[in-house]
Amino acid sequence: LALLVFRAAGVRWLVLETGLGGRWDCTNQLIADRAERLPVEGDAELSWPASVLAAGAPAAAVGICRVGMDHMNVLGGTLAAIAAEKAGILKRGVSAFSVPQPVDADSVLRATAARRGALLAFPQLDDADFCRALALAAADGPAASTGARAAPGALVLPRWLQSAHQQHNLLLAISLVRSALSQAGDAHGEGSATRAGGLWTQPTVDAALRAGLATIWPGRLETLSLGGGGGGGGGGGRGDH
Protein backbone atom coordinates (compact mmCIF):
# COMPACT_ATOMS: atom_id res chain seq x y z
CA LEU A 1 0.00 0.00 0.00
CA ALA A 2 2.81 2.41 0.87
CA LEU A 3 4.44 1.88 -2.52
CA LEU A 4 1.18 2.66 -4.29
CA VAL A 5 0.85 5.85 -2.24
CA PHE A 6 4.41 6.86 -3.13
CA ARG A 7 3.70 6.31 -6.82
CA ALA A 8 0.45 8.28 -6.68
CA ALA A 9 2.24 11.14 -4.92
CA GLY A 10 4.93 11.26 -7.59
CA VAL A 11 7.79 10.71 -5.16
CA ARG A 12 11.04 11.41 -6.99
CA TRP A 13 13.59 9.96 -4.54
CA LEU A 14 12.82 7.26 -2.03
CA VAL A 15 14.99 5.73 0.67
CA LEU A 16 13.31 2.56 1.87
CA GLU A 17 14.55 0.15 4.52
CA THR A 18 13.83 -3.52 4.11
CA GLY A 19 11.56 -4.59 6.93
CA LEU A 20 13.08 -7.98 7.75
CA GLY A 21 15.59 -9.98 5.79
CA GLY A 22 15.10 -9.27 2.12
CA ARG A 23 14.17 -12.41 0.23
CA TRP A 24 10.51 -12.37 1.29
CA ASP A 25 10.18 -8.66 2.00
CA CYS A 26 7.74 -6.43 0.11
CA THR A 27 10.60 -4.10 -0.83
CA ASN A 28 11.23 -6.60 -3.61
CA GLN A 29 8.34 -4.84 -5.32
CA LEU A 30 10.30 -1.61 -5.49
CA ILE A 31 13.08 -2.61 -7.87
CA ALA A 32 12.70 -5.23 -10.57
CA ASP A 33 15.46 -7.13 -12.31
CA ARG A 34 16.92 -5.06 -15.13
CA ALA A 35 18.09 -7.93 -17.26
CA GLU A 36 16.46 -11.06 -18.56
CA ARG A 37 16.55 -13.82 -16.00
CA LEU A 38 18.88 -16.65 -16.86
CA PRO A 39 17.58 -20.02 -15.65
CA VAL A 40 19.79 -21.72 -13.10
CA GLU A 41 19.42 -25.44 -12.51
CA GLY A 42 18.04 -26.12 -9.06
CA ASP A 43 17.34 -22.42 -8.42
CA ALA A 44 14.12 -22.06 -6.42
CA GLU A 45 14.25 -18.32 -5.76
CA LEU A 46 11.02 -16.50 -5.07
CA SER A 47 9.57 -14.92 -8.23
CA TRP A 48 7.69 -11.68 -7.61
CA PRO A 49 5.08 -10.28 -10.02
CA ALA A 50 5.71 -7.07 -11.96
CA SER A 51 7.22 -4.28 -9.90
CA VAL A 52 4.74 -1.84 -8.37
CA LEU A 53 6.87 1.12 -9.39
CA ALA A 54 8.71 0.17 -12.56
CA ALA A 55 11.66 -1.77 -13.83
CA GLY A 56 12.56 1.28 -15.91
CA ALA A 57 13.14 3.66 -13.00
CA PRO A 58 15.98 5.99 -14.00
CA ALA A 59 17.99 5.27 -10.86
CA ALA A 60 18.12 2.47 -8.32
CA ALA A 61 20.71 1.19 -5.87
CA VAL A 62 20.74 -1.35 -3.05
CA GLY A 63 22.78 -1.17 0.15
CA ILE A 64 23.53 -3.95 2.61
CA CYS A 65 24.85 -3.10 6.08
CA ARG A 66 26.90 -5.51 8.16
CA VAL A 67 25.17 -8.84 8.65
CA GLY A 68 24.84 -9.93 12.25
CA MET A 69 23.06 -12.51 14.36
CA ASP A 70 19.63 -10.92 14.61
CA HIS A 71 16.04 -12.09 14.12
CA MET A 72 17.37 -15.63 14.13
CA ASN A 73 13.94 -17.12 14.72
CA VAL A 74 12.93 -15.85 11.28
CA LEU A 75 16.14 -15.47 9.27
CA GLY A 76 18.12 -18.49 10.46
CA GLY A 77 20.68 -19.47 13.04
CA THR A 78 23.91 -18.82 11.14
CA LEU A 79 25.49 -15.82 9.45
CA ALA A 80 25.35 -17.64 6.12
CA ALA A 81 21.61 -18.28 6.46
CA ILE A 82 20.89 -14.69 7.49
CA ALA A 83 23.03 -13.34 4.64
CA ALA A 84 21.13 -15.51 2.18
CA GLU A 85 17.87 -13.92 3.32
CA LYS A 86 19.28 -10.40 3.11
CA ALA A 87 20.78 -11.10 -0.31
CA GLY A 88 17.23 -11.58 -1.58
CA ILE A 89 17.05 -7.84 -2.22
CA LEU A 90 19.85 -8.03 -4.82
CA LYS A 91 18.50 -7.52 -8.33
CA ARG A 92 19.81 -8.44 -11.74
CA GLY A 93 21.54 -5.49 -13.38
CA VAL A 94 21.01 -3.19 -10.38
CA SER A 95 23.92 -1.55 -8.56
CA ALA A 96 24.44 -2.79 -5.01
CA PHE A 97 26.93 -1.88 -2.29
CA SER A 98 27.96 -3.57 0.94
CA VAL A 99 30.13 -2.77 3.92
CA PRO A 100 32.83 -5.30 4.90
CA GLN A 101 31.18 -8.52 6.04
CA PRO A 102 32.09 -11.54 8.16
CA VAL A 103 33.62 -14.27 5.99
CA ASP A 104 30.51 -16.49 5.91
CA ALA A 105 28.21 -13.60 5.02
CA ASP A 106 30.65 -12.18 2.48
CA SER A 107 30.83 -15.41 0.50
CA VAL A 108 27.03 -15.74 0.39
CA LEU A 109 26.51 -12.15 -0.80
CA ARG A 110 29.15 -12.48 -3.51
CA ALA A 111 27.81 -15.83 -4.70
CA THR A 112 24.22 -14.57 -4.80
CA ALA A 113 25.22 -11.42 -6.66
CA ALA A 114 27.14 -13.47 -9.23
CA ARG A 115 24.26 -15.89 -9.72
CA ARG A 116 21.70 -13.12 -10.11
CA GLY A 117 23.85 -10.75 -12.09
CA ALA A 118 23.67 -7.98 -9.49
CA LEU A 119 26.36 -5.29 -9.68
CA LEU A 120 27.75 -5.73 -6.16
CA ALA A 121 30.67 -3.61 -4.96
CA PHE A 122 32.46 -3.19 -1.63
CA PRO A 123 33.58 0.47 -1.43
CA GLN A 124 36.85 1.17 0.36
CA LEU A 125 37.72 3.70 3.05
CA ASP A 126 40.13 5.50 0.71
CA ASP A 127 37.14 6.65 -1.36
CA ALA A 128 37.68 10.34 -2.20
CA ASP A 129 34.17 11.47 -1.24
CA PHE A 130 34.34 9.56 2.04
CA CYS A 131 37.68 11.15 2.91
CA ARG A 132 36.15 14.52 2.08
CA ALA A 133 33.26 13.75 4.42
CA LEU A 134 35.64 13.00 7.29
CA ALA A 135 37.48 16.25 6.66
CA LEU A 136 34.22 18.21 6.68
CA ALA A 137 33.07 16.42 9.83
CA ALA A 138 36.31 17.33 11.57
CA ALA A 139 36.18 20.92 10.35
CA ASP A 140 32.57 21.44 11.43
CA GLY A 141 32.67 19.15 14.49
CA PRO A 142 33.41 19.57 18.19
CA ALA A 143 37.08 20.40 17.71
CA ALA A 144 36.14 23.48 15.70
CA SER A 145 34.10 24.90 18.60
CA THR A 146 36.24 23.74 21.53
CA GLY A 147 39.63 24.48 20.05
CA ALA A 148 40.75 20.88 20.55
CA ARG A 149 43.92 20.02 18.71
CA ALA A 150 44.82 16.82 16.99
CA ALA A 151 48.19 15.39 16.19
CA PRO A 152 49.50 16.43 12.77
CA GLY A 153 47.61 14.56 10.07
CA ALA A 154 44.95 13.33 12.51
CA LEU A 155 41.27 14.28 12.47
CA VAL A 156 39.13 15.01 15.52
CA LEU A 157 35.78 13.49 14.58
CA PRO A 158 32.39 13.76 16.28
CA ARG A 159 31.91 10.93 18.76
CA TRP A 160 29.25 9.21 16.68
CA LEU A 161 31.63 9.00 13.71
CA GLN A 162 34.63 7.61 15.58
CA SER A 163 33.55 3.97 15.46
CA ALA A 164 34.43 1.82 12.44
CA HIS A 165 30.87 0.64 11.81
CA GLN A 166 29.57 4.21 11.56
CA GLN A 167 32.33 5.13 9.15
CA HIS A 168 31.43 2.17 6.97
CA ASN A 169 27.75 3.13 7.14
CA LEU A 170 28.64 6.66 6.01
CA LEU A 171 30.68 5.25 3.14
CA LEU A 172 27.74 3.05 2.18
CA ALA A 173 25.35 6.03 2.13
CA ILE A 174 27.76 8.06 -0.01
CA SER A 175 28.10 5.19 -2.47
CA LEU A 176 24.34 4.79 -2.79
CA VAL A 177 23.66 8.48 -3.40
CA ARG A 178 26.54 8.82 -5.85
CA SER A 179 25.36 5.79 -7.81
CA ALA A 180 21.76 7.02 -7.95
CA LEU A 181 22.77 10.49 -9.11
CA SER A 182 25.10 9.03 -11.72
CA GLN A 183 22.31 6.87 -13.11
CA ALA A 184 19.83 9.74 -13.07
CA GLY A 185 22.29 11.98 -14.89
CA ASP A 186 22.88 9.36 -17.56
CA ALA A 187 19.12 8.78 -17.95
CA HIS A 188 18.61 12.48 -18.63
CA GLY A 189 21.31 12.54 -21.26
CA GLU A 190 23.89 14.39 -19.20
CA GLY A 191 26.46 11.73 -19.91
CA SER A 192 29.02 10.23 -17.60
CA ALA A 193 32.06 12.17 -18.77
CA THR A 194 31.71 14.44 -15.75
CA ARG A 195 31.53 13.18 -12.23
CA ALA A 196 28.30 11.21 -11.67
CA GLY A 197 26.69 12.42 -14.85
CA GLY A 198 27.13 16.10 -13.98
CA LEU A 199 25.00 15.91 -10.84
CA TRP A 200 27.77 15.07 -8.35
CA THR A 201 29.87 18.22 -8.56
CA GLN A 202 32.11 19.35 -5.70
CA PRO A 203 29.75 22.08 -4.39
CA THR A 204 26.89 19.57 -4.51
CA VAL A 205 29.05 16.97 -2.78
CA ASP A 206 30.03 19.31 0.03
CA ALA A 207 26.47 20.56 0.56
CA ALA A 208 25.10 17.01 0.63
CA LEU A 209 27.81 15.76 2.96
CA ARG A 210 27.38 18.67 5.38
CA ALA A 211 23.60 18.17 5.42
CA GLY A 212 23.97 14.46 6.07
CA LEU A 213 26.60 14.89 8.77
CA ALA A 214 24.45 17.49 10.55
CA THR A 215 21.42 15.19 10.73
CA ILE A 216 20.35 14.49 14.30
CA TRP A 217 17.87 11.85 15.41
CA PRO A 218 16.91 12.57 19.02
CA GLY A 219 17.67 9.54 21.16
CA ARG A 220 19.86 7.95 18.49
CA LEU A 221 23.51 7.78 19.59
CA GLU A 222 22.78 10.76 21.81
CA THR A 223 24.47 11.59 25.12
CA LEU A 224 22.22 13.16 27.72
CA SER A 225 23.15 14.69 31.04
CA LEU A 226 20.65 15.02 33.86
CA GLY A 227 20.56 18.30 35.70
CA GLY A 228 21.33 17.98 39.37
CA GLY A 229 21.92 20.02 42.38
CA GLY A 230 20.00 22.66 44.00
CA GLY A 231 16.27 22.78 44.05
CA GLY A 232 15.16 20.88 41.53
CA GLY A 233 14.26 20.21 38.22
CA GLY A 234 16.70 18.81 35.82
CA GLY A 235 17.83 20.13 32.65
CA GLY A 236 18.93 18.12 29.77
CA GLY A 237 22.01 18.79 27.80
CA ARG A 238 22.87 17.10 24.56
CA GLY A 239 26.39 16.02 23.93
CA ASP A 240 27.74 14.49 20.77
CA HIS A 241 25.08 12.56 18.88
Amino acid at 42: G
Q: Is 148 helix (H, G, I), strand (E, B) or coil?
A: coil
Instruction: Write out the DSSP string of 111-122.
Output: HHHHHHT-EEE-
Nearest Cα neighbor of 24 from 80, 82, 86 is 86
Encode pLDDT of 162-186 as tens digits.
889 999 999 999 999 889 888 877 6
Asked whether residue 105 carries a pLDDT value surpassing 80, the answer given is: yes
Average pLDDT across the chain, whole number? 77
pLDDT at 172: 96
